[in-house]
Amino acid sequence: MGKPIVAKDHIRLAMIGWVDGNGHPYSWSAIFNGYDPEAMRRNCPYPGIPAYLDKEPKDTLRIQGANVTHIWTDDPEEAPKICEASLIPNAVTRPEDVIGHVDAVIIATDKGHEHVERARPFVEAGLPVFIDKPMVDNEADLVVFSEWVKQGKAILSSSCMRYGKEFIPYQLSVNNLGQLRYAGITMAKSWERYGIHAMESVYPIVGPGFVSVRNTGTSERNVVHMKHSGGFDVVAVVTKDLFGGFGLLQLVGTADYAFVPFRDTFYSFKMQLTSFIEYLRTGERPFPFEDTVELMKIIIAGIRSREQQGRKVYLSEIAPH
């Protein structure tokens, strides 16, 4: 057991940020606070969120021992709507206004190039920070976060796909497949924002050791071929409107195969957020920060390869070395 980062019975959280295409401030806050079903349906612009929240029994919905007490949104008009739906008592006018009133911060946005500046005031104030995926989408920002962690700052970032209950059996073992030779994963939206969903579905199964990345697609149709030192290939297809292919995982070995569709969004979000709370309580990371660094290098390499007409980009090219 490590030393707790937050040694309190009840942890106060701030939810920070609001960007297009991302409803986490609604859903993640509800997982801590509970929610008003009528206000959620009325206010939340993503109907999928109240749909999956409404399926959950109210007595098992929430993560116990932590609450979202403060929120800041880029568009000030959004904060009162989220407060009403997700039972958040305080909305602030500047993100740094939460400092001194909360024990930890969740940055609930998925544009990697914004995250250093979004996180900076809280990191510098000594607050632990959870950052939605991807942590970064460029080399310079990866170096900054790596330096902060080296200094002992409590920073955690992940995709919910790491916690998909459908994938967990294969994280424990793929020995029944023989020697793994190929993994394929499909995902919607953009490589910059959702490539990490694809990769964090695969990574806890295959582990570190990615060598190179080649993206022969376009910004709307990414086809990304990765080579792993374990002697197998991973191909991720991330296409703008591929909503029929959100998290379809294929694992193929020398003896057998598995096809595993991702289904339960709520479960993966709850486990993702629970892992952050456990990190705060124990001081023990749920997985090494080095894994996040390698994953970010894969995302960066995929962008770089696409911009350079499909050149094979080696992870060893990308800092920190």
pLDDT tens for the chain, 321 residues: list them.
679 999 999 999 999 999 999 999 999 999 999 999 999 999 999 999 999 999 999 999 999 999 999 999 999 999 999 999 999 999 999 999 999 999 999 999 999 999 999 999 999 999 999 999 999 999 999 999 999 999 999 999 999 999 999 999 999 999 999 999 999 999 999 999 999 999 999 999 999 999 999 999 999 999 999 999 999 999 999 999 999 999 999 999 999 999 999 999 999 999 999 999 999 999 999 999 999 999 999 999 999 999 999 999 999 999 999
At residue 11, φ and ψ (nearest 5 deg) are: -100, 130
Q: What is the pLDDT of residue 73?
A: 98
Q: Which CATH class is domain 11-160+267-283?
A: alpha beta
Residue 248 gets which letter from DSSP?
A: E
Q: How far apart are CA 223 and CA 123, in angstroms?
A: 35
Residue found by looking up tokens 């020995």 in the block:
175
What DSSP assignment string belongs to 7-74?
A: --SSEEEEEE---TT--HHHHHHHHHH---HHHHHHH-S-THHHHHHHTS-TTTSSPTTEEEEEEE-S
Q: 162-264+297-317: which CATH topology? A: Dihydrodipicolinate Reductase; domain 2 (3.30.360)
Q: What is the pLDDT of residue 2?
A: 79
At residue 168, φ and ψ (nearest 5 deg) are: -60, -40
β-pair type (155-158, 129-132): parallel
Q: How far apart are CA 23 and CA 48, in angstroms?
A: 10
Q: How far apart are CA 57 and CA 186, in angstroms?
A: 31
Q: How far apart are CA 8 and CA 181, in angstroms?
A: 46
β-pair type (210-215, 313-314): antiparallel
Q: How far apart are CA 274 and CA 261, in angstroms?
A: 23
Whether the model pTM is above 0.95: yes
Q: What is the pLDDT of residue 37?
A: 97
Q: Count CB-CB contacts under 10 A for residue 57.
A: 6
CATH 3.40.50.720 in the chain is located at 11-160+267-283
- What's the token pair of residue 197? 């969903």
Q: How far apart are CA 62 and CA 226, in angstroms?
A: 38
Longest dimension (CA), the chain: 58
Angle at 40 between CA 269 and CA 8, to 5 degrees: 50
CATH 3.30.360.10 in the chain is located at 162-264+297-317
Strand boundaries in 133-229, DSSP class E: 155-158, 180-188, 210-215, 221-228
Q: What's the N-to-C CA distance of the chain in angstroms?
A: 30
